[in-house]
Structure 1
Amino acid sequence: MSDTTGTPSAGPAGADRSALRADCGSCFGLCCVALPFAASADFAIGKDAGKPCRNLRSDFRCGIHSRLREEGFPGCTVYDCFGAGQKVSQVTFEGRDWRRHPGTAPEMFAAFPVVRHLHELLWYLTEALALPAARPAHGALRQALHDTERLTLQSAPELVEFDLAAHRDRVNQLLLRTSELVRAGVRGRKKNRRGADLIGADLRGADLRGANLRGAHLIAADLTRADLTAADLIGADFRDADLSAADLRGAIFLTQAQLSAARGDAATRLPPALTRPAHW
């Protein structure tokens, strides 16, 4: 979105990122229909893309939402559409749902994951613009935010056809630059564990300040009391990782879904934009 002078504005992504948080009441249950999942430890049953989950009610609400973990659906509790569900439901398709207008279903279900990826980029870009250390990149980040928001407002056919991978690559270069600027402010040698296999690793009390943990596999790792100040956590897999008493306050590119996939406690210190998961 642009202001009246033509200068890119923060748009609906806003500093508080409120438009990038899921509003299930304004969505047509798209994550419960459009996406496939396989029977596993995360999902008690499997289903194909485009097929409604058996737990989806006629009002597009989940019939077992309050007991998803107990019913064998922990994968649902950690999924985050970053607000793409309500964008596709209420903006792209102007409130026409796939049940009353079945002809919309194929394009709606195809557009949803594209907008979800774009909204995730908006989340990271908005965070990057709030980081003082990234000021040298703010002009390019602001333009990328504007361009990405504009892309989310395309028609369904345009969303499905445009080159998402190329756009993600361009934005990722800016996010990498942001990461380097932020982590450069941390004294001492920074660990580069990008994409590292840290499954089940003993990282209790580890000094991970300024570390590059992009895409690291931290499944079931013990990060109790670890200091992750200014660590780049984009894409890190925290499933069943122990974050008890860990300091995540200054970590960058951390999402609510990553926290929800992990374990923590009342002593875990979180960034202000994120909330303590109910199951901790």
Structure 2
Amino acid sequence: METTAGPAGPPELRADCADCFGLCCVALPFAASADFAVDKAAGEPCRSLGTDFRCGIHTRLRRSGFSGCTVYDCFGAGQKVSQVTFGGVDWRTAPGTAGAMFAAFPVVRHLHELLWYLDEALTLEPARPLHAGLRALLDETEELTRRDPAALAALDLAAHRARVGELLLRTSERVRAGAGRRRAKDRRGADLVGARLRGAELRGASLRGALLIAADLTGADLRQTDLLGADLRDADLTGADLTGCLFLTQPQVNAARGDAVTRLPARVHRPAHWG
């Protein structure tokens, strides 16, 4: 991940590559594209991964054709699987653990992303009536991340995500109801690829799951807008105001374009490649 600083939020949800066995560089596949210079199969170590589990081209990933790596964030799942699930025993020292370790990693990564959203929801005052339920789900999700590899493999992740998603939606509705004006149109899941939304008044809107790839959001008002799962790849956020927007993650910001005037919520940081 390439940012001016690590993502905000709980330390355990921040990626710590020093305590990880390079899992994102091994467990996950990628295909030759604008984001990755070569093909790599799941379970195959990236050719740039060193024996110390560090990336040999970390400081020049974008120049080397691996911009996709600078967007990715494991939300701390890498070190959780490396140091907790597998007790600090790496897949090179114990090759027999590789399959289970690589299977556990994406499951824990999904759970850690849910923890990110739940933790944010617990900071939102308008959602206080929902805090008890949010806290219970956060504790349950954290417990799931600490299960053994077999239990993680058997987990019905879709069902758990649906439960969390329903409560996050109720949280979003409460927060957006206080946007101070008639809320913008609900555009959940909308296809807005390449949309011209320059200067758009989107305060309090739901853009949850919307496709905003290469959309022009220059100068748009995105305050208190729900951006959970919105695809912001190459979206232009130059001069946009995302103050108080909901459920924005560092990977979404890293995938977008912006500038020094773009206003971001405190939980994320301005990417280094924005200049």
What's the TM-score once normalised by structure 2's chain length?
0.95
- Aligned-partner Cα distance in 2 for 1:273–1:259: 11
1:277 positional shift: 0.1
1:16 positional shift: 3.3
Say yes or no: does 1:115 pair with 2:108: yes
1:17 positional shift: 1.7
Which one has more relative contact order, counting CA pairs under 8 Å at least 6 apart?
A: 2
Deviations 1:105-143 (A, max 9, x none): 010000000000000000000000000011111010000
Q: 1:193 aligns with which of 176, 187, 193?
A: 187
Q: 2:151 aligns with which of 142, 158, 173?
A: 158
Say yes or no: does 1:167 pair with 2:160: yes
Tell me what 1:131 maps to: 124
1:189 positional shift: 3.3
Alpha carbons 2:177, 2:183 under 8 Å: kept: no
For structure 1, the 5+ residue unaligned runs are: 1-14
Tell me what 2:3 maps to: none
Tell me what 1:262 maps to: 256
Instruction: Please give the residue correspondences for 1:11-90 in structure 2 after superposition, counting only pairs within 5 Å.
Output: 16-90=9-83
- Aligned-partner Cα distance in 2 for 1:219–1:162: 32
- Aligned-partner Cα distance in 2 for 1:16–1:30: 22
1:97 positional shift: 0.2
Q: 2:205 aligns with which of 197, 202, 211?
A: 211
Q: 2:87 aligns with which of 79, 94, 104?
A: 94
- Counterpart of 1:279 in 2: which secondary structure? helix
AA matched with 1:255: T
Identity between Structure 1 and Structure 2 (%)? 71
- Aligned-partner Cα distance in 2 for 1:190–1:214: 13
For structure 2, the 5+ residue unaligned runs are: 1-7
- Aligned-partner Cα distance in 2 for 1:156–1:74: 31
AA matched with 2:126: A
1:159 positional shift: 0.6
AA matched with 2:72: Y
Taking only aligned residues, the RMSD between alpha carbons, in angstroms, comes to 0.9
- Aligned-partner Cα distance in 1 for 2:231–2:9: 25
AA matched with 2:271: P
Tell me what 2:227 maps to: 233
- Aligned-partner Cα distance in 1 for 2:183–2:80: 42
Of residues 62-71 and 187-196 in structure 1, the stretch that sits farther from structure 2 once superposed is 187-196
1:200 positional shift: 1.1
- Counterpart of 1:246 in 2: which secondary structure? coil
Count of aligned pairs between the two proteins: 266
AA matched with 1:238: L
AA matched with 1:48: A
1:162 positional shift: 1.3
- Aligned-partner Cα distance in 2 for 1:273–1:215: 20
- Aligned-partner Cα distance in 2 for 1:91–1:195: 36
AA matched with 1:100: T
- Aligned-partner Cα distance in 2 for 1:191–1:80: 30
- Counterpart of 2:272 in 1: which secondary structure? coil
1:60 positional shift: 0.4
- Aligned-partner Cα distance in 2 for 1:43–1:188: 43
Deviations 1:134-173 (A, max 9, x none): 1111010000000000000000111111111111111111
